[in-house]
Structure 1
Amino acid sequence: MVKRFKVWTYNEGEQPLVHDGPLNHVYAIEGQFIDEIERDKSPFRASHPEKAHVFFMPFSIFNIVKYVYMPITTQTDYYRDRLQRIVTDYIKIVADKHPYWNRSSGADHFMLSCHDWAPDVSDDNPHLFKNFMKVLCNANTSEGFRPTRDVSIPEIYLEFGTLGPPHQGQPANNRPILAFFGGREHGQIRKFLLKQWKDKDSDVQEYLPKGPSYTKIMGQTNYYLPFSDVLNWSRFSIQISVERIPEIKTILQGIPYDKPAKPFDVIHMVLHSVWLRRLNFALPT
């Protein structure tokens, strides 16, 4: 894959909404991926669009929210219409200037984001995004995620600007927290988690209390990673259905007790998942 698979990044657009993204904290994978795929010596960067297998749309959902929405102080302004217009306008620009979107109806194009709003970009115009590939941390089928077309990626919290091993992680046999959930109360699954476990057991921690480090807590916790199209997670992980959330502690207690990008790291795994979906979708002839 490293020798053959090539990605073209559109040059259109200006920072900070395009060609830029967060390099730190909970949405870091968005900026790290843009930075990695656009660097001059990236082995995946196509020298010409005609040599590319897929086309990357380098807009940042996080930066759109930060620079377009956050300056507005009214809470009633968080409708997704402006986000959808920005993304649709960017697609229109590259489609009018280049032949690649129109020749495949977007089938060999993809975006990447870890922001909760990312799945909403296609809601206003489902037909336009019918074949478009979304690479998301928010891989919820109830919010439009399509497992056969879209790609699930891990959410990686980085305190510093480079990818690497966690600085505060602990070996698997020295992790005192069985399960940890940090996030606001929205969505049915999160509400169910909080109802079952909030303030009930120190082994299963929820929300993020003031003071403790998110990275430190995650480094002490067992957690799930994606790439299920490549890795057989049933061989080395435990998957808990929503119905079994009350059994989380019992299930986990019953379990006996690895910049620039390199093969088998997160960036390569993301691109491998994109490559597989590109291979499985025939372009019009």
Structure 2
Amino acid sequence: MDHGFLHYPCSKQTTRLIWVFGISLVVVLTLQYSELPIFNSISLLLSGAKASFVRESYFSNANNTSFMQQDLKDSYSGVNGSSPKNSSEEREKNTQNGDLKKPKMETLPVMSISQMNEELKKSRSSLYSVTSQVSSLVDQQLLEAKSQIENAAFTNNDSGLYAPIYRNISTFKRSYEIMNRMLKVYIYKDGEKPIFHDWILEGIYASEGWFLKLMEENKQFVTEDPNEAHLFYVPFSSRLLELTLYVPHSHSRENLIQFMKNHTEMLISKYPFWNRTNGSDHFLTGCHDWAPAETRGRLLNTIRALCNADIRTGFKIGKDVSLPTTYVRSSKNPLKDIGGNPPTQRPILAFFAGHMHGYVRPVLLNHWGNDTDMRIFARMPHVKGNKNYIDHMKSSKYCICARGFAVHSPRVVESLIYDCVPVIISDNYVPPFFEVLNWESFAVFVLEKDIVNLKKVLLSISEEKYVEMYERVKKVKEQFFWHSEPVKYDLFHMILHSVWYNRVLRMKGI
């Protein structure tokens, strides 16, 4: 009786506090998701809380599913918001130090697209150049190639290329021609499957798989003689590394990072090739979110072709290559159902659909989810073949490519292949093939902090300008296609060219 009497007031007080907390939470969520204009300003202030709420809810749901029980199809389904399955790396990132404690958007350091252009120019200066320890015939060839590229004569469009989509069509054409004639790549044979010499050809990590497969099957560029190689390829899969070595529920990538460190040290000690240039003539590809972390240490000296091309995680403009994130639904027919409606049959101003991953998408939905000119959804009902999502892309003038947990998104390439002008909302994301493509000629860049002005930005673009960008999208999309047998200027050749291009232009004579 005495104990019951002593605890009774505490029990009442606890109950009262729970009621107060519950009512407050309901009020906050009601205001946040209200469609009434009067709540817009309040909703803006609460947008950070909304993103946190979405992340915490997502984390809670993810804990109910074993981290590695999903098969490969589960891990990349729903990328376009049509299927509610969660990928393993998304669940992992949600539990790590980053996303649950993500700083507000306006506090993050941002490099604008114009600043990226300046950084690219600086990367070509002598300060960033690489000198080999010992001069060789290969070095002489690369220096000669550099001279020819930098002094390329003006070319017209009889090459089949469309000048406005390139930074400099003459240098690109000349560089591509020299690469086709001269480039030799040595592929390290070390490493066991599935982490090395193996691939996944479907899903959102398909880029690294397709490139690896096509590179190992290639007869034109691959050489068995390392002494004639201009580049050395480390053929690993960041996705298969995660599937093979990640310890479920450990919330740690340290063993994956250590594995790649050990493999690199083995290659350095076993072969003499690395020490010639301290690894600057080596390259790798990685499309998983964790690839930047797995390729740190001495691998930072290599040319890293990464889907997660985030300046904040160490991506170096002019050295590293932004690998396109390509969501391949069918490895047998990667080009199925491409193309879209003409400008006159695109009644939707802008479109986005997807899971509310990260801190940007909830803000996008909060501001524009009820706008009648745009179609901004959290998730679309699942339809076989993702037809609803694809039809919206084909019928929209602009397709929003908003970052999730990481800066990259398959929507960038999807926008292009469905003839929709991409609107990239992802601070510090370096778009694919940045060193050769003039992205500002066919895409729109909106800073995360300017989401509130999104509609104003899009409406400020004249119809004439939009049609011009639309036509350029139709031209550039062909360089984002996978083919079982690579063809000129396709995705395989563009990735290899950007690696080659960055290697050559960073050369410096002894």
Same fold (TM over 0.5): yes
- Post-superposition offset of 1:141: 0.7
Query: Hey, what's the Cα distance between the residues in 2 that align with 1:194 and 1:92?
Result: 46
Pair 1:211-2:382 in alignment: yes
Pair 1:29-2:246 in alignment: no
Counterpart of 1:271 in structure 2 is 496
- Post-superposition offset of 1:16: 0.7
1:138-178 CA distance string (max 9 Å, x none): 11111211112111121111111157434254245345652
SS of 1:134's equivalent?
A: strand
Query: Hey, what's the Cα distance between the residues in 2 that align with 1:228 and 1:29?
Result: 17
Query: Hey, what's the Cα distance between the residues in 2 that align with 1:106 and 1:156?
Result: 28
- Post-superposition offset of 1:182: 3.6
1:132 to 283, 295, 302: 302
1:64 to 229, 232, 241: 241
Pair 1:115-2:285 in alignment: no
Does the Cα contact within 8 Å between 2:353 and 2:380 map onto a contact in 1? no
Query: Hey, what's the Cα distance between the residues in 2 that align with 1:51 and 1:163?
Result: 36
Query: Hey, what's the Cα distance between the residues in 1 that align with 2:387 and 2:242?
Result: 24
Does the Cα contact within 8 Å between 2:380 and 2:389 map onto a contact in 1? no
Pair 1:103-2:276 in alignment: yes
Query: Hey, what's the Cα distance between the residues in 2 that align with 1:96 and 1:111?
Result: 19
1:65-87 CA distance string (max 9 Å, x none): 11222xx442xx13121111111
TM-aligned CA distance change 1:229 to 1:172, over 3 Å: farther
2:452 to 228, 246, 262: 246
Which one is further off, 144-153 or 207-216? 207-216
Counterpart of 1:228 in structure 2 is 434
Give the alignment of 1:9-48 within 5 angstroms. Answer: 9-41=187-219, 43-48=220-225
Structure whose alpha-carbon radius of gyration is higher: 2
Question: Percent identity at matched positions?
Answer: 30
Counterpart of 2:316 in structure 1 is 146
Query: Hey, what's the Cα distance between the residues in 2 that align with 1:268 and 1:97?
Result: 30
Query: Hey, what's the Cα distance between the residues in 2 that align with 1:203 and 1:139?
Result: 28
SS of 2:181's equivalent?
A: coil
Query: Hey, what's the Cα distance between the residues in 2 that align with 1:73 and 1:129?
Result: 26
Query: Hey, what's the Cα distance between the residues in 1 that align with 2:266 and 2:387?
Result: 39
Pair 1:50-2:227 in alignment: yes
Query: Hey, what's the Cα distance between the residues in 2 that align with 1:216 and 1:4?
Result: 46
Query: Hey, what's the Cα distance between the residues in 2 that align with 1:244 and 1:3?
Result: 46
SS of 1:3's equivalent?
A: helix
TM-aligned CA distance change 1:119 to 1:130, over 3 Å: closer
SS of 1:50's equivalent?
A: helix
- Post-superposition offset of 1:234: 2.1
TM-aligned CA distance change 1:21 to 1:247, over 3 Å: farther
1:82 to 255, 268, 284: 255
Query: Hey, what's the Cα distance between the residues in 1 that align with 2:440 and 2:381?
Result: 35
- Post-superposition offset of 1:59: 0.8
Query: Hey, what's the Cα distance between the residues in 1 that align with 2:493 and 2:342?
Result: 24
Query: Hey, what's the Cα distance between the residues in 1 that align with 2:270 and 2:229?
Result: 17
Does the Cα contact within 8 Å between 1:104 and 1:284 map onto a contact in 2? no
1:32-90 CA distance string (max 9 Å, x none): 0000000043x221232112111111111100111222xx442xx13121111111122
Which one is further off, 22-31 or 229-238? 229-238
TM-aligned CA distance change 1:50 to 1:139, over 3 Å: same
- Post-superposition offset of 1:206: 4.7
Equivalenced residues, count:
276
Q: TM-score, normalised by structure 2?
A: 0.49
CA RMSD of aligned residues (A): 2.8
Does the Cα contact within 8 Å between 1:184 and 1:207 map onto a contact in 2? yes
Give the alignment of 1:255-266 within 5 angstroms. Answer: 256-257=466-467, 258=478, 259-266=484-491
2:267 to 76, 83, 94: 94
- Post-superposition offset of 1:183: 5.1
Does the Cα contact within 8 Å between 2:318 and 2:435 map onto a contact in 1? no
- Post-superposition offset of 1:226: 2.0
Query: Hey, what's the Cα distance between the residues in 1 that align with 2:446 and 2:333?
Result: 29
SS of 2:214's equivalent?
A: helix
1:110-146 CA distance string (max 9 Å, x none): 11111111111245x3xx2342221111111112111
Counterpart of 1:167 in structure 2 is 337
- Post-superposition offset of 1:230: 0.8
Does the Cα contact within 8 Å between 1:168 and 1:215 map onto a contact in 2? no
- Post-superposition offset of 1:250: 4.0
Q: TM-score, normalised by structure 1?
A: 0.84
